[in-house]
Amino acid sequence: MMDRRKEILLQAISISFGILCLVAFQGVIEHLLGNSFQLLWYHPISFVLCGFLCTIPYFILDILQLHPILSLILHIFSVYAIVMLLGSICGWYADGQGAFLLSIGYFMVYIFVWIVTIWMGKKDAKQINEALKEIQDKEV
């Protein structure tokens, strides 16, 4: 299993990257539609902050060791609450339509982050197994 610091960093980077990709995609769509798209100076910083804040529920729920389904449901909604609250504070959306679009983006990023986390975990496990096999082969 990955060490906790690596997990925090991986998830925070994945979340921030996912948010930045969605914002870039939104910018391209707005440009193609002939609309103006503008980021405020603090938006990129708020995306990174969001990435780190969204890692907190994962570790709290890991410590609580609840039933996996309950833990997943609590995780989805607690991270959603963080994103929507930070989005409201930082002005990521201005109205109900913006909140709805942010909600869709949230679920896209959520799925992306878990895919990356699982992939990296499997990659690390494969490297560990290969190293153990090398050690075992040397002993024989």
User: pTM for the whole thing?
Assistant: 0.74
Question: How high is the pLDDT of residue 85?
Answer: 92
**Torsions phi, psi of 89, nearest 5?**
-65, -40
pLDDT value at position 2?
54
Averages of pLDDT over each 10 residues, the chain, 140 residues: 71 82 82 82 87 86 87 90 90 84 86 81 79 76
Q: What pLDDT shows up at residue 111?
A: 87
Tell me the C-alpha distance between 61 and 72, whole Å. Answer: 9
